[in-house]
Structure 1
Amino acid sequence: MTKSSVQRIYLEDYRQLQSDNPAQSLLSLIACQEEQAVEFAQKLIKQRTIHGLDILNFVETVLVYKLPHLTREEIQTMLALQDIELKQTRFYQEIAVEERQKGIKEGIKEGRKEESITLLTRLLRRKFGLLPELEAALQQLPDMEIEKLEDLADALLDFTDIKDLENWLVP
């Protein structure tokens, strides 16, 4: 039976440690005070790879958690990184995907709203003709949420004259 050794490590022991050992330097970055984090990170970034691993993701992740009040640009400036280097990090890529998905959802919602307004405008004009009262009512459509536009589409089937529409639009 092989005896495995487990060694307990206390991060406090690494707070002030100045070491040339890359693994200990990584622990020092995690354990250091907020004021020292940038200095440790800059030293680690200069090494770029430790045991064949690109440590940029690691350093960036530690700084994001250790310095949450800083923006990506501020971290980039402090570490003197090129924008291309940051764009290669997992953190940046995850945020870019989230933002892209958020933009797609917003675009779809906006497109649905525009189509609803266009369709409602056509249906109401066909039902009531080109009346000044109708044109005034149509001006309210862009301010409505998509759900309310959908409710109007359902309700317009029951409208018999323009007064029904005006009454429906009154809050």
Structure 2
Amino acid sequence: MPKQRPEPIDIDEQEERPSKSQLKREMHALQALGETLIAMKPAERARFPLSDDMLRAIEETSRIRSHEGRRRHMQYVGKLIRKEDLTAIQGVFDAIEQEKEQRDHAFHRLEKWRDRLVDEGDDAVDLFMADYPNADRQALRQLVRNARKEREQGKPPTSSRKLFKHLRDTLAL
């Protein structure tokens, strides 16, 4: 009986199949996603659409102490993540990132107001009160005066921090 030769692999078929290195990179990315989920607080993790098996694996991670056992468990978590809805998980990550950016933007706005209030004094207080009429004008003016006095004397910015905190509380951020 003559030897049968394997059929030649079609070049198009070979290009469609990912390389072994690509598969490893994807596996490591999924493990990193699992580690990110494990590092989150339970309240944050509750926002994600995770299966019961995945949640059990995440909870089990805290009980594993040995390095090798944890490494193998992370491989298992990576395997479980393949079965999860990755687009929904990415959507939650995007929403969290967007909330963080909005919060950062709001804090930068507050910092600019604080600096403007300290630099300009009562004129800036009037402008701030026009934008935010619910603010306590007397407390705001007192904090601005104290912050200006500290700056002039070269003292640490304690009142400036209190002013920022007051602005944050006023705007409920």
TM-score, normalised on structure 2?
Answer: 0.34
Decide which structure has greater helix share.
2
TM-score, normalised on structure 1?
Answer: 0.34
User: Which structure has the bigger radius of gyration?
Assistant: 1
Structure with greater contact order relative to length (CA < 8 Å, sep ≥ 6)? 2
